[in-house]
Structure 1
């Protein structure tokens, strides 16, 4: 039954940058590495091989979702040739002429963005006819009730990074850009795609168009592969005036898009929450627009406690005359598995993940949180002995200089400045990853119950869903290697959610699946919660979107 919702994945990006026989990879083919490149890809967590291609979506239980449009950033193109270009197209089917256009700064991100839109539009008919994939829009509303159909997969479009709306040549740092104008060019056109949501930033510095600070996401392995200083945050400052103007353009449009806080630095996220409220005082209609984080994990910590209790060590280093500020967070133990050895679970404490206050902020806005299927985001750190951790998380993360000085140097958090069926056999590592996914789900629900008063039938379960990030160069959790496997997730959640509820340490006084007398909750309640997470929340969100958030 095609009923599952995925808040964030990439359908055609790998096909867009691919090559086969002097053309792009056919839609019915998967992006596949071979030979030595396949071994390298396996070492990198199978990031290159397809995880959510059209054929995989067709063969999956995905019924609804949001697929991301994304212009390739210069940081990815800058040095990728030196590491990968020696492989033939049969071993790594990348179209290097596409990459070179970015590396040589021959285009603008907005032109690349429109090129990707045109690629989708040219394939709309084939995607519907051959793969049962349709795209939804407020500009041309669906003729029938898409929520009663089991035949098609219905997708909306998001934009991963506001660099996509930069009309200056790539890295032309002195240029004047008008991202609001570029946004309106797309959103005003009745025949163009309808943009569901936008991330203000993505993974790298965009010197020609600073919008806000971004959070470091690439760790050591990815840094080795791509080797660009642009992946290191340096120029964070909350949200720039250009960023605020862009948010106004987006929120005040007749068909407004949501702002997705994923990839923003934690300081910039708090400035966004603050600015959203200020804008709402001037334009109350904008407060109907919920906050979202489409593909994320949790730190399992309050940002106030994290900063003021200095649950990290702070420092800086010099690289080619530039100051790189870093923090290294303490490891955060969150629970355990049944295994005698390697049984402890830990969170990923990097600040790209949401803190407690933010989970509540999103819930209060009637928003939605997509939980990533990337094992690194959820907290897996190494292949073996992952249940044994030192005091501090192995990888320090770079923090923009201003933000580091503001919060992390002195440890002062100033909010005024920011704001049930039998299971197949699974390996230890597979179960650890399922536990981590369940831990994020349970923690969000516990925190929602602890911090908010819920009226009527509403509950924290209404505000979480999958946000896999498949085909976003992720290392997916075992055993959900690609989108075809998410149909198995329901049974695993029914089994492991109650187990993790008993063993998760943070907020352990709140048991999600026990009533006030500590008796088990009825099984149908568990099924309702799982179905909300997998399907119903996303479908309701899409209904609100098609009703223009009214």
Structure 2
């Protein structure tokens, strides 16, 4: 979709930067556009390994975008309106758009490798070099964000049956095509021509101003559909299987996935070697059982265009403190797009990986200057699909049968790094609290950075884009032990204290930070290249 004066895409050598009035709007939206990572930015960053998403633009983004953005010239916001209109006018399929995206990457492999030192990894054509000892390049694997990308029906054509399994095999069986590391079953909107599972609301009111569509509101969740189960079965049983990324699934659908994974594993034990991942996420700092049964939310519904929109508004939960005299409390983001305690453990038990997002909103920051003082309930309610709302949130019953040394920073910047550290430490504390660990394994082996810098995020300050990741390591070394002293949930477990309450050795802290920033991701990619064996 990105172009230069409507004649083609923004050149690979250019960074995406808004200008003029559009830069003000982008600031209002949380720098969603300017955080995009260009090849040049990747080259100049400290990124060594990562996953990049392939994605066909959903109809919801194109439905009303013209009215908001079309008054800006392409020099301020380089958008190919012909592309937008193809989606809006339903002239193509998501699968055709995905293949166009793949083709664009493939046509630029040589330039990406030679000019920007970026290579893509694949099990289909294993590299002769030892990529884990080569510091010259950045190595990327491909993910697909949303199974709508495998829909071969015209956009919004609900009369035509789709065959996502066939589309997946078309790509994954082709030795010359990309090798898919992981797939999200859903993304940010309803895809009526191909229901796979329920999705969690992600866009708040600010984003809805720019992309105005009722499709962003979850309505028709139901766990995992039969089509979704058939797709998962095809993906998991492939000779080069991809992982299912649970990010963007509704919390009810996520639990149905955990359940179906076990069922499929009893029939095909080899599939249980495939770990569960959540690629770019945050935590609610709560168990789903407590959240539902203690009714830590208030519930309501409304009618829009004849459809019932069910909403919950979660209670705010203070998770820690800072040193500031005012504005000193930290809060999580309780929206159900974030993981509950049971899910963090489920991923760890699967030998999986949790990528913690760098989006300040996902981590729990708010726009308010007085973010350390909040009302009883989280400001923004979130929509829950009707069936799932009735199943869990109306009665408040969790039915287990259904589931299964740094630079000077502003106050806001310190709050943001505190929030990132809080998520890291909470996962580790929970892992130690609820699981028995054998040998050298620990919860530190199952978390990593999940920046989402190729998404429309509002990055935590001061890590505005991928080029700023180099300074994150030093900041984590400084702030992780500090936040460990201040984090309230599971506070009886101190991550950085020995049994005799003596301070931990610095080498252990360094080892943990390096696992989070690089080693876990590298080891995970090694498993991928070894077909998860």
Q: Shorter-chain TM-score: which interval?
A: over 0.9
CA drift at 1:138: 0.2
Residue 370 of structure 1 pairs with residue 341 of structure 2: no
Q: What does residue 41 of structure 1 align with?
A: 26
CA drift at 1:225: 1.0
Residue 503 of structure 1 pairs with residue 483 of structure 2: no
Residue 80 of structure 1 pairs with residue 65 of structure 2: yes
Residue 515 of structure 1 pairs with residue 498 of structure 2: yes
Q: CA RMSD in A?
A: 0.7
Separation (CA, whole Å) in 2 of partners of 1:523 and 1:33: 42
Deviations 1:354-379 (A, max 9, x none): 00000000000000000000000000
Equivalent residues, number: 533
After superposition, residues 432-511 of structure 1 pair within 5 angstroms as: 432-511=415-494
Residue 294 of structure 1 pairs with residue 279 of structure 2: yes
Matched position secondary structure for 1:62: coil
After superposition, residues 232-311 of structure 1 pair within 5 angstroms as: 232-311=217-296
Q: What does residue 376 of structure 2 align with?
A: 391
The runs of 5 or more residues in structure 2 that have no matched partner are none
CA drift at 1:395: 0.3
TM-score (norm 2): 0.99
Separation (CA, whole Å) in 2 of partners of 1:432 and 1:133: 33
Residue 317 of structure 1 pairs with residue 318 of structure 2: no
After superposition, residues 35-184 of structure 1 pair within 5 angstroms as: 35-184=20-169
Separation (CA, whole Å) in 1 of partners of 2:291 and 2:35: 37
Asked if the contact 1:48–1:471 (Cα under 8 Å) also holds between the matched residues in 2, the reply is no
CA drift at 1:346: 0.2
Residue 401 of structure 1 pairs with residue 386 of structure 2: yes
Separation (CA, whole Å) in 2 of partners of 1:319 and 1:248: 36
Runs of 4+ in 1 over 4 A off after TM superposition: none
Deviations 1:101-156 (A, max 9, x none): 10010000000000000000000000000000000000000111000010000000
TM-score (norm 1): 0.96
CA drift at 1:173: 1.3
Q: What does residue 3 of structure 1 align with?
A: none
CA drift at 1:99: 0.8
CA drift at 1:463: 0.4
2:513 to 530, 537, 541: 530
Separation (CA, whole Å) in 1 of partners of 2:260 and 2:32: 36
Asked if the contact 2:53–2:454 (Cα under 8 Å) also holds between the matched residues in 1, the reply is no
The runs of 5 or more residues in structure 1 that have no matched partner are 1-15
Separation (CA, whole Å) in 2 of partners of 1:20 and 1:542: 38
Asked if the contact 2:322–2:415 (Cα under 8 Å) also holds between the matched residues in 1, the reply is yes
Matched position secondary structure for 2:319: strand
CA drift at 1:23: 2.3
Matched position secondary structure for 1:324: strand
Asked if the contact 2:35–2:458 (Cα under 8 Å) also holds between the matched residues in 1, the reply is no
After superposition, residues 213-228 of structure 1 pair within 5 angstroms as: 213-228=198-213
Asked if the contact 2:333–2:365 (Cα under 8 Å) also holds between the matched residues in 1, the reply is yes
CA drift at 1:52: 1.4
CA drift at 1:78: 0.3
Q: What does residue 12 of structure 1 align with?
A: none
Deviations 1:414-456 (A, max 9, x none): 010122x3x2110000000000000000000000000000000
